[in-house]
């Protein structure tokens, strides 16, 4: 196992950090990449190779992959974990911010895939793990741009899996549910800034409360469940194409499949405490 090499993006905290440490424990040579290298001292102390990398900067990604190949001679696992969720009403979110979210969550992952694939194909082996979300299968109000990136990642991964099968390269999608990281609080703060004073304020307040509440944090799963899942996928002889793990992931994905659209909409609105309708005079206020 010591000859296997893994690259994990978004490794400065949360899922990425724990996944890098897990793969290191399994004997992989691990490269943890992130913009904020000063936050990766724990990884460096554990023997993880720390890489400065911005997934919106092609030169940064190229330099990172080139450095891994020069130093280790191969790359066996890519974990595309870098990403973020910027919530707000579709009407309210500036298109520059929407594009930025796609640049990180989709195009950054896609470019890294393009960079590692020549090496994996030459080896006739490799595993690409794309960290999606249950949000790639379900939808919630005020998360349109975020869900759009995750739906896109699901489709890209499915196509990629078929394209790479002849070369012995596996593509795995991990769909986390609610995970105990700083993600929820950051998303809640950004949501209030974006839509807290607009026509969508009632929905924004309810969603922000749900995203950032202590009760949500208590129910959320630890990041280690995702790290364990990635480890299971990359060491399996025949990994599953998808792993839905973490609080709420499997039941919510099941309900989305089972329920008609409007029934699912009503269920989510009740769960999140968001308004489901408006009186005529409410509509005239805006």
CATH of the domain at 9: 3.40.50.720
Read off the DSSP letter of residue 167.
Answer: G
Residue 169 inside a domain? The answer is: yes
d(CA 208, CA 189) in angstroms, rounded, equals 7
Residue 284 inside a domain? The answer is: no
Write down the pLDDT at residue 269: 92
Residue 277 inside a domain? The answer is: no
Query: Does the pLDDT at position 79 exceed 70?
Result: yes
d(CA 240, CA 45) in angstroms, rounded, equals 32
**Number of alpha carbons in the 13 Å side-chain half-sphere of residue 94:** 6
Domain count, the chain: 1
Residue 104 inside a domain? The answer is: yes
Nearest residue to 141 via CA among 284, 3, 274, 9: 274
Q: Can you give the residue range of the structural domain that contains 108?
A: 5-272
Active-site annotation, residues: 146
Residue 239 inside a domain? The answer is: yes
Residue 26 inside a domain? The answer is: yes
d(CA 172, CA 157) in angstroms, rounded, equals 8
Residue 167 inside a domain? The answer is: yes
Write down the pLDDT at residue 281: 43
Confidence of residue 1 (pLDDT cuts 50, 70, 90): very low
d(CA 92, CA 199) in angstroms, rounded, equals 9
Nearest residue to 148 via CA among 180, 105, 203: 105
- Residue by residue, DSSP assigns 190-247 as HHHHHHTTSTTHHHHHHHHHHHH-HHHHHHSBPTHHHHHHHHHHHH-SS--SEEEESB
Structure tokens at 272: 């999140």
Confidence of residue 113 (pLDDT cuts 50, 70, 90): very high
Q: How far is CA 128 from CA 6, 26, 70, 242, in A?
A: 10, 17, 20, 12
Write down the pLDDT at residue 283: 43
Round the average pLDDT of the chain to a whole number and report it.
93
The alpha helices in 38-80, defined as continuous H runs, are 41-45, 58-72
Residue 279 inside a domain? The answer is: no
| pTM of the predicted model as reported, rounded to 2 decimal places | 0.92
Confidence of residue 118 (pLDDT cuts 50, 70, 90): very high
Neighbours of 220 (CB within 10 A): 20
Q: Which residue has the higher pLDDT, 226 or 183?
A: 226
Query: Does the pLDDT at position 81 exceed 70?
Result: yes
């Amino acid at each position: 196992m010591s000859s296997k090499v893994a690259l994990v993006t978004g490794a400065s905290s949360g899922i990425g950090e724990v996944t890098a440490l897990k793969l290191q424990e399994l004997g992989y040579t691990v490269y943890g990449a992130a913009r904020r290298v000063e936050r990766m001292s724990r990884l460096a102390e554990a023997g993880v190779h720390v890489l400065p990398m911005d997934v919106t900067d092609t030169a940064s990604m190229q330099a990172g992959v080139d450095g891994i190949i020069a130093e280790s001679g191969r790359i066996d696992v890519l974990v595309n974990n870098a990403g973020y969720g910027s919530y707000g009403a579709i009407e309210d979110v500036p298109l520059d911010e929407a594009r930025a979210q796609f640049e990180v969550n989709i195009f950054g992952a896609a470019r890294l895939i393009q960079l590692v694939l020549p090496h994996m194909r030459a080896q006739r082996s490799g595993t690409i793990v794309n960290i999606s979300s249950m949000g790639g299968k379900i939808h919630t109000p005020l998360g349109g741009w975020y869900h759009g990136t995750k739906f896109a990642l699901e489709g890209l991964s499915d196509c990629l899996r078929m394209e790479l099968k002849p070369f012995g390269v596996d593509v795995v999608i991990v769909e986390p549910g609610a995970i105990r990281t700083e993600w929820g609080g950051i998303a809640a703060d950004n949501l209030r800034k974006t839509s807290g004073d607009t026509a969508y304020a009632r929905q924004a307040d309810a969603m922000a409360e749900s995203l950032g509440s202590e009760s949500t944090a208590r129910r959320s799963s630890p990041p280690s469940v995702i790290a364990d899942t990635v480890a299971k996928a990359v060491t399996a002889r025949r990994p599953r194409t998808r792993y839905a793990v973490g609080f709420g992931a499997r039941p919510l994905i099941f309900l989305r499949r089972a329920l008609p659209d409007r029934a699912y909409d009503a269920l989510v609105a009740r769960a999140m405490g968001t308004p489901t309708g408006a009186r005529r005079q409410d509509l005239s206020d805006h």
